[in-house]
Amino acid sequence: MIDPTILQRLSATIAGRKGADAASSYVAGLFGKGHDAILKKVAEEAAETLLAAKDGDKLHLVRETADLWFHCLVLLAWHGLTSDDVLAELHRREGISGVDEKKSRK
């Protein structure tokens, strides 16, 4: 069974790399380049995920989705958030019609 705490552990690792040496940490390098670089990377990974889905290669799709999720976690960390914040929102939405949930947004 896959460990369900993987997102929490990954979020903690990413947060811990904020102050690391950019020469030894990819995440520290991204943080060092700033918000726009992180946003660009998320957009790039989202596009690659879409292309993998379009191609129909399931393994490629899983790998690109993992890259996208990872970079979304980096973006969340930039804003002082973690996977728990997203999981809490998904929990809040569980059992609510998508139509009703969208109507409730302001």
- In the prediction, which pLDDT does 100 show? 67
| Residue boundaries of the structural domains of the chain | 6-104
Mean pLDDT by 10 residues, the chain (106 residues): 90 94 94 97 98 96 98 98 95 83 75
pLDDT value at residue 102: 76
Q: Give every CB contact of residue 47 below 8 A, 6+ residues apart in sequence.
A: none
pLDDT score for 75: 98
**What dotted CATH number matches 6-104?**
1.10.287.1080
Q: Which of 12, 65, 19 is nearest to 42 (CA)?
A: 65
What is the model's pLDDT at position 90?
93
pTM of the model: 0.88
Q: Please count the other Cβ atoms lying within 10 Å of the Cβ belonging to residue 67.
A: 18
